[in-house]
Structure 1
Amino acid sequence: MISVVIADDQTMVRQSFRAVLDAQDDIRVLGEAANGVEAIERCAELAPDVVLMDVRMPELDGLEATRRILAARGDDVRVLMLTTFDIDEYVYGALRAGASGFLLKEAPLDDLVTAVRVVAAGNALFAPSVTRRLIGEFAVRGRTADGGSKVAELTQRETEVLRLVAKGLSNTEIAEVLVIAEQTAKAHVSRVFGKLGARDRAQAVVAAYEAGIVVPGK
């Protein structure tokens, strides 16, 4: 059973999301929060697997709430950002802070259910048509020497794997491109994550853009 906390300042949004998620056999909504402060409190109290976090909320925005929640619970919780904008600098900041992806509020409700399952399984919600464009646009503003030095530690094959991850390819697709076994591709991806200190694909992609090995739009 996947446990969820929904953090959004709009009551109708929380209620509609809750109704859809609670109708699933494998998902249970433990609680709701109307702002970032309440989101932190609910997570400390209820220890959910996944937090649906609105980007813009009163008292404390979703970005800072995400940082604090992940700092406190680490890999025990996954944060899925919710936004009404497909290009939003707050979302890029949240990905850097450790969020596992983001979802547009206007997306079909079936996508919400899928997204919760994806991030609960330890994967990043990575829609190339939106997320990659967002990361590419804002990563060039926040390049760091530390990010570049970590990428420089990768072998040639690992750098190639990271470039493919940044393009949105799955392990299966990476294996096909490199003509290697899927298990070998998975092992390469895991080593890349370890060297970069990335918890999932979203953070690895941010590192790739910040280091300049992937150019936005290409």
Structure 2
Amino acid sequence: MIKVLIAEDMPALLKKYQRLLEKDSELEVVAAVQNGYEAVMKTVLCQPDVILMDIEMETRTAGLDAASQILSQYPEVKIIILTSYEDDENVFQAFKLGVSDYVLKNSKQEELITCVKDAYAGRSPIRPVIAEKIRREFQRVKQSEDSFLYNLMLVTQLTQTEIDILDLLRQGYERSEICSMRCVEMTTLKRHIHNILKKFDLDSMAEVVKLVNDLKIYDYLHNVKNMDLKDTR
């Protein structure tokens, strides 16, 4: 007998899934809960083999949060994500956590039961739609890494003075304040800013600042600097 826990915050759907699954003699619904907290608690108490987990319950990511907690303590439990729509980000995040599969809420009884049995038997396939989601996500991550590395290279091509000025602008200092802090004339500062824009091939410092902030390039540079300082002690 396969023990199943269902976590779904809509009572009507919760009862529907319970009714559909219990029509199969090989499945036993050991718990039916309406939030992520109860899903974690009932997992401890009922020791289910498979969990049907809604993503959005008391919070938008309650199901993912509960899945993370459960799998950290019970990695052998098979979790199937229930979702109303094929959301790339949530589906990929679920698979990174270690869930076995996902199924749309409007799936027919046969698909739901097959999904549960396949997960229990370790046969949950990476269906074409999931494979495509994963491919797109890795492509997005790769593009992001390329962008980070390219712009990090641009930052390293700045002079130390230009790096310091960009850092001050990034922190929100006005140009007049930077002139005072660095004891330079405005014309000198403008020349440095012109060189920065030229190296980034952008039209405004606002664009450069947004770029380095979005990619967290200065966080990376500061971390590297701190590591270097520790190594010299």
Q: Does TM-score exceed 0.5, indicating one fold?
A: yes
After TM superposition, the structure 1 = structure 2 runs for residues 1-218 of structure 1, keeping only pairs within 5 Å, are: 1-59=1-59, 61-75=62-76, 77-128=77-128, 130-142=129-141
Contact 1:102 1:125 in 2 (8 A): no
Letter aligned with residue 74 of structure 1: P
Q: Secondary structure at the match of 1:134?
A: helix
Unaligned stretches of 5+ residues in structure 2: 146-233
Letter aligned with residue 61 of structure 1: A
Distance in 2, matches of 1:35 and 1:121, equals: 26
Contact 1:7 1:33 in 2 (8 A): yes
Unaligned stretches of 5+ residues in structure 1: 146-218
Distance in 2, matches of 1:18 and 1:93, equals: 26
Contact 1:51 1:79 in 2 (8 A): yes
Distance in 1, matches of 2:73 and 2:27, equals: 23
Letter aligned with residue 3 of structure 1: K
**Deviation of 1:33 (Å):** 1.4
Q: Give per-residue Cα distances to partners, 1:16-67, cap 9 Å, x unaligned.
A: 1100111111000000111111110110110000000011111561111111
Aligned length: 143
Q: Secondary structure at the match of 1:140?
A: helix
Q: Secondary structure at the match of 2:52?
A: strand
Distance change in 2, residues 1:96/1:45 (3 Å):
same
Letter aligned with residue 137 of structure 2: F
Give the % identical residues: 31
Distance in 2, matches of 1:23 and 1:138, equals: 37
Q: Secondary structure at the match of 2:74?
A: helix
Residue number in structure 1 paired with 2:197: none
Letter aligned with residue 100 of structure 2: S
Q: Give per-residue Cα distances to partners, 1:129-164, cap 9 Å, x unaligned.
A: x2122222223344699xxxxxxxxxxxxxxxxxxx
**Deviation of 1:72 (Å):** 0.6
Distance in 2, matches of 1:85 and 1:137, equals: 17
Contact 1:87 1:134 in 2 (8 A): no
Q: Which has the larger radius of gyration?
A: 2
- Greater Cα shift, 51-60 or 61-70: 51-60
Distance in 1, matches of 2:131 and 2:80, equals: 16
Which is bigger in relative contact order (C-alpha 8 A, separation at least 6)?
A: 1
Q: Secondary structure at the match of 1:74?
A: coil
Q: Secondary structure at the match of 2:90?
A: helix
TM-score by length of 1: 0.62
Distance in 2, matches of 1:117 and 1:54, equals: 18
